[in-house]
Amino acid sequence: MRLFDTTFIIDLVNGDPGAARLAKTVDEEESFAAISVITVHEYLLGVHLAYTGPKEIQDQLEKARRDMIPYQTIPLTTEIAEESSKVQAQMQRRGETPGLNDLYIASTALTLKLALVTRNAQDFRRIPGLKIETY
């Protein structure tokens, strides 16, 4: 069971061989595949920043939504908020300032006991107890 970070969705769409292999494996295993609502935000934000014309933005938003269809979207919940506040406090006590989007994505994985699949493992290694899977 896995939670996929935004980097995975981007890499898969861009044809990254490692992401494609993992997607095939997950599909063959019929494994639970999810993304955080924060990943939805980051992915759609990328569309809004990359394109300028209203028609072009609309077309790309539709494509981006199709890219995310295979994944169950996990909303932020009270339990995830509680986990993220605990993790953020632990990190701040160590003098670290986590990025909030990464904190929410990691806390989603921790709360649901899912491995987090990402290319940017270094962004998440400081989060205690998080299982990270790279590709």
Give residue-wise pLDDT tens across range 10-30: 999 999 999 999 999 998 987
pLDDT digits (tens, 9 = 90+) for 39-72: 999 999 999 999 999 999 999 999 999 999 999 9
CB-CB contact of 91 with 127 (8 Å): yes
pLDDT of 3 higher than 90: yes
Spell out the alpha helix ranges (H) of the chain: 6-13, 17-29, 37-50, 54-67, 78-93, 100-112, 121-124
Architecture of domain 2-133: 3-Layer(aba) Sandwich (3.40)
Domain extents in the chain = 2-133
Neighbouring CB atoms inside 10 A of 111's CB total 19
